């Protein structure tokens, strides 16, 4: 492992969620134990048994997809009026996408099935990278940009990409995150896999029965520490590194003992140069599906060893639902704000933990505690695992 | 990013002209386009389909039934690349990364999943089809097939997705997160894609696509696999590289205009660090805006050799661009320049050195 030359910090954070259109509103609602899950209105799927979702109070614009609109909204908050200065070729944009363009393709297909012509516009059908391009225009980027589609680990890997470039000294400034909007393909897909709970999801619970779907966007501004200091930026946290791995086990199910997930976490610790004893929080993937949560807890134990007994674990899925391509960025936002305020957001509806989830999964209420560093997990179909390592900013 | 520390040691090709390196080399040398009327199952109109593709014998029958078209292509191309590089992936799976570039990965399955759902409701939804609706399905299938457990990314940056995947793979190798990287570009044709492209008026309607005509492109499909490793790692295995990756660069424009993108492409070329290319491969495809980017570059560099344009023969794969890299590896050359314009997003350029066809 070649140590990167630059330290990387988070200097901006924007959230558009089903709890609130904004960072602090979302965060305070999370700490109060609220969730954004509500009867499904975004889509009309009356035959689906589950009718709950985390929906954002925002609609597509006339010339924008909902994804683009949410992503730009989150970016505006993250920038907080900042107009990035300096060499535009050293500004990068990295986005994770899950469904992104699917609603447009669905609408076109539906029109064709109805015997109508449908509206095919090129930007619409290519929209995964269109969101990235829109964000790049906003920050005036002439540098590298990337759109990752690693399903549910997409946006966390996008954050890893940004870290890589900044840490290597190739960029000064980057925007990274993800946006996801509800669509029929994912709703019907997870439903037919029997992965959706008709009730509100219960991560880590003995009676967990599946996930709820959600939508939203999170955008982070990342900079080199030198650049952030030079402009006197407020620093939320430091990104130390990340890890990624494949399970090579099953197209949709995680490795039952979390073998690949543990390797991603171990790699994140290695790239970040941190020992397991330095971790106080895991912002878990925590989908509330029967297969995921147990495997993830085993993976945490595998990666952290005895240090796992002293950490807090939490799942944002209990508050936003599963935001798929944006889920990793939501987990990262929760971890960064937790490190800032020294408080862990709760895992809602965790009444009785599954014995296999024998970690402190922060049931029902927020928990004040010392938080030095956090791992953020996001795992995806295809056995794609990503883990990001972030550290509390202490002004050094 | 530049440096000659990374080499390409394995190549695998599934192309409209057929499978394998020799078939591709003959196709490129002939200059004959591979377009024909498409089979109805793939869509209406003309295009370059992998009509002769036959994965039987490479993909086990049980798996074959579960795979979408891009994943089938990727599996076979990867198989060829590992064999070409003389590498047994199972022996070092945790140290092999996979980076995939695709536009259509997942889309074919999405149509196959949603068509019956929209017609019949939840009863029409197949749990066997849905897992392939994600773009990274191919990387998951490759991981299962070859025991690959390193980092993985699937990148969807329009025409240049495979270049972005190559860049990511190079970064993982240099960071020490993997020892070998399998870079794949894969895309498959399906009816809704053709319908959308036609609706957006991007397709050439008369004859084969001509670079500079502005009349549009014809779609193609296939997969290209490249095994990337450090020069030292290849040497330790006793493998002679197919080529060195001398430099790879990307640049973008915040203006979605031809001049803006042209400048970005020129910046990417400039970032390669110079050198006089002996051979040049270009990404023009017959679509006016893509051809304009490359046309401007050629005007500014009259000293360059004329470019060959693989998309004119094999079609526009939409998201991969891997056919350009493949073409760059099919003729010997001390220095080959690849210019890869995109209709938006990142513009890429690459320099391959010491392209060597003799592996003995």
CA gyration radius, chain B: 19
Look at A383 and B1 and tell me if their CB atoms are within 8 Å: no
- Chosen for mutation from B98, B121, B130 (greatest number of chain A CBs closer than 10 Å) is B130
ipTM confidence score: 0.95
The predicted structure's pLDDT at residue A63 = 80
Residue A269 has pLDDT above 90, yes or no: yes
Q: Chain B contacts of A210, Cβ < 8 Å? A: none
- Chosen for mutation from A107, A183, A192, A249 (greatest number of chain B CBs closer than 10 Å) is A192
Is residue A306 exposed (0-12), middle (13-18) or buried (19+ Cβ within 10 Å)? exposed
What is the percent of chain B with per-residue pLDDT over 90, rounded to a whole number? 84
For A169, which residue in chain B has the nearest alpha carbon? B1
CA–CA gap between residue A72 and residue A134 (Å, rounded): 8
Is residue B17 exposed (0-12), middle (13-18) or buried (19+ Cβ within 10 Å)? buried
Q: What is the β-pairing status of strands A312-315 and A281-284? A: parallel
Q: What is the mean pLDDT of residues B151-177?
A: 94
Q: Is A63 a catalytic residue?
A: no
Residue A125 has pLDDT above 60, yes or no: no
| C-beta of residue A178 within 8 angstroms of C-beta of residue A155 | yes
What is the percent of chain A with per-residue pLDDT over 70, rounded to a whole number? 97
B102: closest CA of chain A, how far (Å): 10
Report how far apart, in Å, the C-alpha atoms of B229 and of each of B160, B173, B234, B324, B349 are: 21, 7, 6, 20, 20
pLDDT digits (tens, 9 = 90+) for A79-124: 999 999 999 999 999 999 987 677 778 888 888 888 887 776 655 5
Residue B339 CB neighbour total at 10 angstroms: 27
Q: What is the mean pLDDT of residues B26-49?
A: 95
Chain B 160-189, residues with CB within 8 Å of chain A CB atoms = 164, 167-168, 171, 174-177
Torsion of CA A194, B150, B100, B163, to 10 degrees: 150
The predicted structure's pLDDT at residue B239 = 96
DSSP secondary structure code for residue B255 in this structure: S
The predicted structure's pLDDT at residue A1 = 56
Chain B 106-165, residues with CB within 8 Å of chain A CB atoms = 106-107, 110-111, 113-115, 117-119, 121-122, 125-127, 130-131, 133-137, 139-141, 143-144, 147-158, 164
Which residue from B250, B259, B266, B277 is spatially nearest to B355, judged by alpha carbons?
B277
The predicted structure's pLDDT at residue A124 = 52
CA gyration radius, chain A: 19
Look at B157 and A145 and tell me if their CB atoms are within 8 Å: yes
The predicted structure's pLDDT at residue B1 = 41
Residue B183 CB neighbour total at 10 angstroms: 28
Q: Which two tokens stand for residue A155?
A: 């946006």
Q: Encode A319-386 in three state secondary structure.
A: HHCECHHHHHHHHHHHHHHHHHHCEECCECCCCCECCCCCCECCECCCEECCCCEEEEEEEEHHHEEE
Q: Is A192 a catalytic residue?
A: no
CA–CA gap between residue B132 and residue B151 (Å, rounded): 20
Q: Which residues, in sequence order, are CB contacts of B281 under 8 Å at separation 6+? A: B307, B308, B309, B310, B324, B327, B328, B336, B337, B338, B339
| C-beta of residue B50 within 8 angstroms of C-beta of residue B16 | yes
Which residue from B88, B66, B83, B90 is spatially nearest to B138, judged by alpha carbons?
B66
Look at A105 and B107 and tell me if their CB atoms are within 8 Å: yes
Rounded mean pLDDT of chain B? 93
CA–CA gap between residue A93 and residue A299 (Å, rounded): 31
B114 closest CB neighbour out of A117, A118, A184: A184
For B348, which residue in chain A has the nearest alpha carbon? A144
The predicted structure's pLDDT at residue B2 = 42
Which residue from B81, B118, B83, B110 is spatially nearest to B98, judged by alpha carbons?
B81
What length is written for chain B? 360
Helix A66-79 / helix A127-139 crossing angle, nearest 10 deg: 30
Size of interface A-B (CB pairs under 8 A): 230
Which residue from A212, A234, A215, A213 is spatially nearest to A223, judged by alpha carbons?
A234
Give, in degrees to the nearest 5, the angle at Cα B237 between B236 and B238: 90
Which residue from B261, B277, B273 is spatially nearest to B346, judged by alpha carbons?
B261
* A344-377 burial code (b ≥16 CB/10 A, e <16): bbbbbbbeebbeebebbbbbeebbebebebbbbb
The predicted structure's pLDDT at residue B150 = 97
| C-beta of residue A266 within 8 angstroms of C-beta of residue A317 | no
The predicted structure's pLDDT at residue B77 = 98
pLDDT digits (tens, 9 = 90+) for A210-257: 999 999 999 999 999 999 999 999 999 999 999 999 999 988 889 999
Residue B33 CB neighbour total at 10 angstroms: 22
Q: Which two tokens stand for residue A14?
A: 């924007």
pLDDT digits (tens, 9 = 90+) for B266-280: 999 999 998 899 999
The predicted structure's pLDDT at residue A129 = 85
pLDDT digits (tens, 9 = 90+) for A138-183: 999 999 999 999 999 999 999 999 999 999 999 999 999 999 999 9
Look at A130 and B344 and tell me if their CB atoms are within 8 Å: yes
Report how far apart, in Å, the C-alpha atoms of A93 and of each of A99, A210, A291 are: 19, 33, 34
A141 closest CB neighbour out of B151, B152, B252: B252
Look at B149 and A248 and tell me if their CB atoms are within 8 Å: yes
| C-beta of residue A134 within 8 angstroms of C-beta of residue A194 | no
Is residue B198 exposed (0-12), middle (13-18) or buried (19+ Cβ within 10 Å)? middle
Q: Chain B contacts of A141, Cβ < 8 Å? A: 252, 254
For B139, which residue in chain A has the nearest alpha carbon? A382
3-state secondary structure of B83: helix
Helices marked H in A47-86 — which ranges? 66-79
Q: What is the mean pLDDT of residues B109-136?
A: 92
Q: Chain A contacts of B105, Cβ < 8 Å? A: 149
Chain B 75-94, residues with CB within 8 Å of chain A CB atoms = 93-94
Q: Which two tokens stand for residue A394?
A: 């202490």
Of these residues, A67, A152, A297, A361, which one is catalytic? A152
| C-beta of residue A144 within 8 angstroms of C-beta of residue B157 | no
For B146, which residue in chain A has the nearest alpha carbon? A248
Report how far apart, in Å, the C-alpha atoms of B334 and of each of B4, B59, B242 are: 13, 36, 12
Q: Which two tokens stand for residue B175?
A: 């960071």
C-alpha A390 chain-centroid distance: 14
Which residue from A249, A157, A151 is spatially nearest to A195, judged by alpha carbons?
A151
The predicted structure's pLDDT at residue A104 = 79
A272: closest CA of chain B, how far (Å): 12
B175: closest CA of chain A, how far (Å): 5
Q: What is the β-pairing status of strands B180-187 and B96-101? A: parallel
| C-beta of residue B107 within 8 angstroms of C-beta of residue A105 | yes
B150 closest CB neighbour out of A185, A191, A246: A246
């Amino acid at each position: 492992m070649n140590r990167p030359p630059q330290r990387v910090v988070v200097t901006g954070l924007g959230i558009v969620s089903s709890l609130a259109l904004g960072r602090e509103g979302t965060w305070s609602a999370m700490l109060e134990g609220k969730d954004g899950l509500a009867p499904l209105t975004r889509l009309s799927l009356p035959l689906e048994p589950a009718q709950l979702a985390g929906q954002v109070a925002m609609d597509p614009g006339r010339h924008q997809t909902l994804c683009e609109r949410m992503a730009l909204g989150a970016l505006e908050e993250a920038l907080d009026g900042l107009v990035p200065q300096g060499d535009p070729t050293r500004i990068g944009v990295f986005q994770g996408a899950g469904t992104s363009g699917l609603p447009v393709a669905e609408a076109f297909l539906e029109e064709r099935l109805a015997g109508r012509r449908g509206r095919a516009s090129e930007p619409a059908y290519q929209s995964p990278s269109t969101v990235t391009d829109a964000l790049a225009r906003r920050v005036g980027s002439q540098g590298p940009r990337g759109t990752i589609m690693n399903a549910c680990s997409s946006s966390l890997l996008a954050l890893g990409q940004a870290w890589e470039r900044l840490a290597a000294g190739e960029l000064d400034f980057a925007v990274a995150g993800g946006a996801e909007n509800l669509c029929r393909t994912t709703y019907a897909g997870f439903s037919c896999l029997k992965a959706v709970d008709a009730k509100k999801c219960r991560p880590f619970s003995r009676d967990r029965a599946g996930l709820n779907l959600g939508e939203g966007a999170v955008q982070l501004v990342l900079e080199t520490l030198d650049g952030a200091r030079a402009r006197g930026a407020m620093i939320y946290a430091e990104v130390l590194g990340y890890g990624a791995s494949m399970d090579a086990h099953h197209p949709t199910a995680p490795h039952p003992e979390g073998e690949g997930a543990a390797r991603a976490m171990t790699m994140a610790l290695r790239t970040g140069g941190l020992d397991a004893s330095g971790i106080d929080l895991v912002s878990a993937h925590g989908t509330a599906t029967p297969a995921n949560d147990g495997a993830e807890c085993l993976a945490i134990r595998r990666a952290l060893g005895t240090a796992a007994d002293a950490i807090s674990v939490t799942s944002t899925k209990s508050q936003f639902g599963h935001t798929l391509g944006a889920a990793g960025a939501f987990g990262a936002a929760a971890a960064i704000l937790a490190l800032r305020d020294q408080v862990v957001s709760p895992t809602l509806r965790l009444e009785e933990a599954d014995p296999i989830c024998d970690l402190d999964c922060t049931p029902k209420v927020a928990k004040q505690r010392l938080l030095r560093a956090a791992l953020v997990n996001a795992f995806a179909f295809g056995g794609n695992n990503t883990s990001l390592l972030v550290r509390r900013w202490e002004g050094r | 990013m530049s440096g000659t520390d990374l080499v390409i040691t394995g190549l695998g090709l599934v192309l409209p002209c057929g499978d394998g390196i020799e078939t591709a080399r003959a196709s490129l040398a002939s200059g004959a386009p591979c377009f024909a009327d498409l089979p109805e199952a793939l869509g209406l109109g003309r295009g370059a389909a992998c009509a002769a593709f036959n994965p039987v014998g490479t993909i086990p029958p049980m798996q074959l039934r579960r795979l979408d078209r891009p994943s089938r292509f990727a599996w076979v191309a990867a198989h060829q690349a590992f064999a070409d590089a003389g590498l047994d992936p199972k022996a070092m799976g945790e140290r092999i990364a996979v980076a995939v570039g695709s536009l259509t990965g997942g889309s074919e399955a999405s149509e196959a999943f949603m068509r019956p759902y929209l017609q019949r409701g939840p009863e029409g939804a197949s749990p066997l089809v849905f897992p392939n609706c994600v773009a990274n399905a191919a990387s998951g299938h490759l991981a299962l097939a070859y025991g690959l457990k390193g980092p993985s990314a699937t990148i969807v940056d329009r025409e240049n997705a495979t270049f972005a995947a190559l860049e990511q793979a190079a970064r993982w190798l240099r960071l020490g997160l993997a020892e070998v990287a399998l870079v794949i570009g894969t895309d498959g044709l399906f009816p809704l894609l053709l319908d959308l492209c036609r609706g957006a008026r991007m397709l050439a309607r008369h004859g084969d696509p001509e670079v500079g005509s502005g009349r549009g492109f014809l779609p193609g499909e296939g997969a290209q696999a490249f095994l990337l490793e450090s020069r030292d790692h290849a040497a330790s295995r006793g493998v002679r590289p197919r080529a060195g990756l001398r430099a790879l660069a990307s640049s973008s424009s915040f203006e979605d205009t031809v001049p803006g993108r042209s400048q970005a492409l020129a910046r990417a070329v400039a970032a390669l660090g110079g050198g006089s290319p002996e051979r040049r491969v270009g990404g023009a495809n017959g679509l006016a805006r893509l051809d304009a980017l490359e046309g401007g570059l050629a005007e500014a560099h009259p000293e360059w050799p004329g470019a060959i344009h693989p998309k004119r023969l094999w079609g526009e794969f939409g998201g991969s661009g891997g056919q350009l890299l493949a073409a760059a590896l099919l003729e010997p050359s001390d220095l080959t320049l690849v210019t890869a314009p995109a209709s938006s997003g990142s513009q890429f350029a690459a320099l391959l050195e010491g392209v060597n066809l003799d592996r003995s």
